[in-house]
Structure 1
Amino acid sequence: MDDHTESEILKTIPYGFYITGVVGPDGEANGFTTCWVSQVSFEPRQVIVAARRDQRTTELLEASGVFSLNFLDTEQEDLARRFTEPVEHEGETVGGAGYATGETGAPLFDDAFAHLECRVAGKMPAGDHDVFLGEVVASNLKRPADILTDLDTQMDYGG
């Protein structure tokens, strides 16, 4: 099978879009759009998130040992796109998006419909990404909503 065929097949796996919130040792909040997320355990509740190894936000995630998953709804493609590029922490916003500080210190973005806060329980290299295992330590559902997926957008991060 050729690379193009493999890529096209992998692109058929549906992914939700989240902003992974991270915080540096000095309190610098930041975040990045991610879609490679999955629950992997019931007891304890654990999720995995993949992060590009060469990003500053991945360095912050690794240094702090905590992260948040901020769930985006089907009307928030613009927010998902904003966090695909480097953004700046400015006062009470990151990339212009307001946030509150969660129990773990990770940012909980105001516009997300739900949040999970996690402590890193493990890390594994995976090609050009690192996979972080996070144990869920806090959660918040602000409102019911349908998650934004790659099927709702022209955004493409697979293959």
Structure 2
Amino acid sequence: MEQTRSEILKTIPYGFYITGVVGADGEVNGFTTCWVSQVSFEPQQVMVAVRKDQHSHELMEQGGVFSLNFLDTEQEDLARRFTRPLESENGAVGGSPYKTGETGAPLFEEAFAHLECRVVGKLEAGDHTVYLGEVAAATLDRPADILTDLDTPMEYGG
């Protein structure tokens, strides 16, 4: 039964994003995430689930802001890079340059679109925390199709 539930849960399609965070001391980080969804029209809000054992979870708690950086169908390598711990230096995380957004969250330049959010709520969900973010700013650098788990052998779920 557990195996069946896991296999069914793995069939839910997800986009891949780099979630950017900044800590109270200005430390910047990013990580690949796929558990993301819009949850409200007015105000515009999204939710993102973050593993509690990630360093980025601590930064999200401190900074209270995050960015969603949208990846296109040709950026699987970038999504894979951000699945592991990366160093932040000289305006880049793991070699990926970013600019600082209106909220202070990093906007990764390789992404085709960005949402900046302020955390307005959270819910403990087992080994993750679900953060509710109100959209504060948005940029679209170019039209593109979002990278999803259907485009790659990568999976996160089950």
For this structure pair, what is the TM-score category when the shorter chain's length is used for normalisation? over 0.9
Q: TM-score when scaled to structure 2? A: 0.99
Measure how far apart 1:91 and its partner are: 1.0
Distance 2:39 2:107 in 1: 22
Identity of aligned residues (%): 76
Aligned to 2:149, the other structure's residue is in SS state coil
| Structure 2: tracts of 5 or more residues without a match | none
The CA deviation string for residues 84-142 of structure 1, in whole angstroms up to 9 with x for no partner, is 00111011110110000000100000000000000000011001000000000000000
| Structure 1: tracts of 5 or more residues without a match | none
Q: TM-score when scaled to structure 1? A: 0.98
Distance 2:44 2:81 in 1: 29
Distance 1:93 1:12 in 2: 34
The CA deviation string for residues 5-58 of structure 1, in whole angstroms up to 9 with x for no partner, is 111100110000000000011111101100000000000000000000011101
In the alignment, structure 1 residue 17 sits paired with structure 2 residue 16 = yes
Stretches of 4+ moved more than 6 A in 1? none
Residues 3-152 of structure 1: matches in 2 within 5 Å? 3-152=2-151
**RMSD of Structure 2 on Structure 1 (CA):** 0.5
Distance 2:16 2:75 in 1: 9
Q: Partner letter of residue 44 of structure 1?
A: P
The CA deviation string for residues 62-93 of structure 1, in whole angstroms up to 9 with x for no partner, is 11000000000000000000010011101111
Distance 2:3 2:83 in 1: 24
Aligned to 1:125, the other structure's residue is in SS state strand
